[in-house]
Structure 1
């Protein structure tokens, strides 16, 4: 009887040790990528804070890094929660990756109409879940007296039919994020925290 060669007889499946080493290497690469994203996010926040300081000192177009297409325009604080965030000038996807953004179509804070500030629910606006009616919100803008707002209520609205009319009515603040909190998938609903002006500081 003639023994026929078996197909792929020269190729062997990797042994258990090689598979384990491959899995460990893949895990290390994924861990390193995640760690690097965290480091980049921390560096970005430091650069944003420095940019905000330059804006307060009078620099008119203080971008956090040379290629950024946004700049800090305000600093928002919720003293009762110990939370604060630097507000960026553009509601585009790049700005929202780094912090809350004042939507271009909205009113400038303190002027008639609704000032709409949006951010992601799992990062910069995660604290909105803990905000309650009556809480104080302070909004600082470079070269101007801080504005104070009192939270008057919250709504869950459809993103396409929010009912927010930025150019209508007295000065108000709307802090907007996705709803529900803790969800891992995007959805059509938005959580809106409404605030009305209080006396200037």
Structure 2
């Protein structure tokens, strides 16, 4: 009988711990979203494009996904600390209007939990201090977790790539990555 209570207690502790983590993540992403909107509102000038060089952890803009009614803060960097705050911009990848590969990553169980609902042709919008940019989803792919071939950092044409762990409902370290490719709309 005591072992049954012990198992229930451990289960409740694990549920509580997981719930606390989700609540903390939601609070952090909410705070960063407010900060991103302030950054955008404070400066909307094309002259900032040449000087745009954010530091690790800086809030740099917004990712809007109309099809799932989502508005997410973009943070410079993809370390765990940055991904707790929102969508991470892969350091070394490009930003909008720099004619290269823009790579944004996020957790499948927080900011990108509805990413699997998107379809080809759906719009993705990126707003940063020097402008607003629109992209159309043209392809999706599932790759192994250790496949880094999608991050080419090419600078021949502008493309937006979203990455997250896959499968979406997987518990633990997911074995794959879900990739969305989007082209800039003129």
Q: Which has the larger displacement, 144-153 or 181-190?
A: 181-190
What is the aligned-residue RMSD (CA, Å)? 2.6
Report SS of the residue matched to 2:114.
helix
Q: What is the deviation of 1:38?
A: 4.0
Q: Which runs of no fewer than 5 residues in structure 1 stay unpaired?
A: 1-15, 60-68
8 A contact 1:51–1:71 mirrored in 2: no
2:166 equivalent to 1:183: no
2:21 equivalent to 1:46: no
8 A contact 1:76–1:137 mirrored in 2: yes
Count of matched residue positions in the alignment of Structure 1 and Structure 2? 173
8 A contact 2:64–2:72 mirrored in 1: yes
- Residues 29 and 58 (structure 1 numbering): CA distance in 2 closer, same or farther, change over 3 Å? same
Report SS of the residue matched to 1:182.
coil
Measured in 2, the distance between the counterparts of 1:167 and 1:175 equals 15
Provide TM-score, normalisation by structure 1: 0.73
Q: Which has the higher helix share?
A: 2
What per-residue deviation string (whole Å, max 9, x for no partner) do you get for residues 54-112 of structure 1?
312438xxxxxxxxx61211211111221221111111121112321000021112211
Higher relative contact order (CA 8 A, sep 6+): 2
Taking the TM superposition and a 5 Å limit, the aligned residue runs for 1:20-39 are: 33-39=17-23
Partner of 2:62: 75
Provide TM-score, normalisation by structure 2: 0.78
Measured in 1, the distance between the counterparts of 2:110 and 2:77 equals 17
Partner of 1:152: 138
